[in-house]
Every structure is written in C-alpha cells, then in structure tokens.
Amino acid sequence: MPFKPSKDLDELCYPFIHENSPLCDYEVLTDELCTLLGMACSAMPDQMADIAKDLAVLQPLAFHANGSVRGRLALTEADLQAVKSCLHHYKAEVAERVQGFVLPRGTSPVNELHQARSVSKKAIRALVRLDDAGTSVPEILPRFLNLCCNLCFVLTQVVNQRRGVAEPAFVSKSYALPRSTSPKAP
C-alpha cells in the first residue's frame, strides 16, 4: 500500500516526498548536494577564502538544478561557463599533483567536497533514470552536475595541497592498463 502524505504540514518535509519517481530522488540528491556544498563552504579555513567564495557561487546553482526538471529551467550556459572557468583555474593550481585516481583523504572541508562529488554522480544517475522513464531532461543538467563533480574533486586536491596533505594514488587491479602492444619494427 503506497504511503499517503499527512495532512498535517508539520509531518510533511517535502510535498513530493511520497512520489514513486526518480524525479523526487533527483530532487532529494540535489538538495543533499546543496547542503554538502554549504557545509564545505562554511568549513573552509580563512586562508582559503577564494575557495569559499567560489563555493558560495556554486551552492545556489545546485538548488537551481534541483527545480529545473519539475519547474522552469534555471541554469544557463553562462552558469556552466563560470563553473568551468573556476574548474580550470583550480586545475592549473594542482597541475603537478597526482593525475588519475586517488584514495580520498583529508579533513573537513575535504570530506564534504568528496561527498558532494559522490552525490553529484548519484544525481546524474537519477537523471539517467528519469530520461529512461520518458521525462524530458534538459541537457544542461547532467553537464552541470559533471562539472560540479569534477570541480569538487579538484578542490579536494587544492585544499590538501595548500595544507601539505598528499592523497595516495590508487592503481586499480580491476582496470589495469594493458601492456603496450605496439608492433615491432621489421
């Protein structure tokens, strides 16, 4: 028997919470993303005010992404370009660090940024399920969430680098690169 929302608004956290839909799942995940970005922003040390400022710009974009399926599309190409510019700025700062997979390490706000990265992926997966279910998903949403995921990862590296914390490189045994199979010279 499906749950029925209470008529007492004190007992209802979100009007759509009882929907059996990937749309509600997406909205809950983007709400969580917004929360994690806010937590990371609030936990940012004073000497990293530049990152806190950029997270303060990114955080409301997560809420704009939240309502952009059920409601009116609220993200723009300019928003994406701003996030991409920020991503490139911080990538340049950590260009000498480990490239590829690392084991997530560090203390707050790195933890929150790693969680935001993971929740961004979950939100993308919810969009995939929405699309599979026949809901029209604006192309800008998965693009934004991928950028958000990548920016959060790079910011973990920036914060750790500024603190002198090294993340151990992770070399997968499952997806090891094949040995070179280049042809031999005759």
Residue 1: the pLDDT is 56
8 within domain boundaries? no
pLDDT more than 90, % of the chain = 72
What mean pLDDT is predicted for residues 77-81? 98
- Binned at pLDDT 50, 70 and 90, residue 182 comes out as very low
Which residues make Cβ contacts (< 8 Å) with residue 23, sequence separation at least 6? Answer: 16, 69, 70, 130, 135
Residue 11: the pLDDT is 66
Q: Which domain holds residue 80?
A: 24-94+103-163
32 within domain boundaries? yes
- Over residues 104-154, the pLDDT tens digits come to 999 999 999 999 999 999 999 999 999 999 999 999 999 999 999 999 999
Helix/strand/coil (H, E, C) string of the chain? CCCCCCCCHHHCCCCCCCCCCHHHHHHHHHHHHHHHHHHHHHHCCHHHHHHHHHHHHHHHHHHHHHCCCCCCCCCCHHHHHHHHHHHHHHHHHCCCCCCCCECCCCCCCHHHHHHHHHHHHHHHHHHHHHHHCCCCCCCHHHHHHHHHHHHHHHHHHHHHHHHCCCCCECCCCCCCCCCCCCCCCC
**CB atoms inside a 10 Å sphere around CB 57:** 14
Residue 17: the pLDDT is 62
pLDDT more than 70, % of the chain = 87
- Over residues 12-48, the pLDDT tens digits come to 456 666 678 899 899 999 999 999 999 999 999 999 9
9 within domain boundaries? no
Q: What's the CATH code of the domain at 81?
A: 1.20.1200.10
169 within domain boundaries? no
7 within domain boundaries? no
183 within domain boundaries? no
5 within domain boundaries? no
Domain count, the chain: 1
170 within domain boundaries? no
Mean of all residue pLDDT scores within the chain: 90
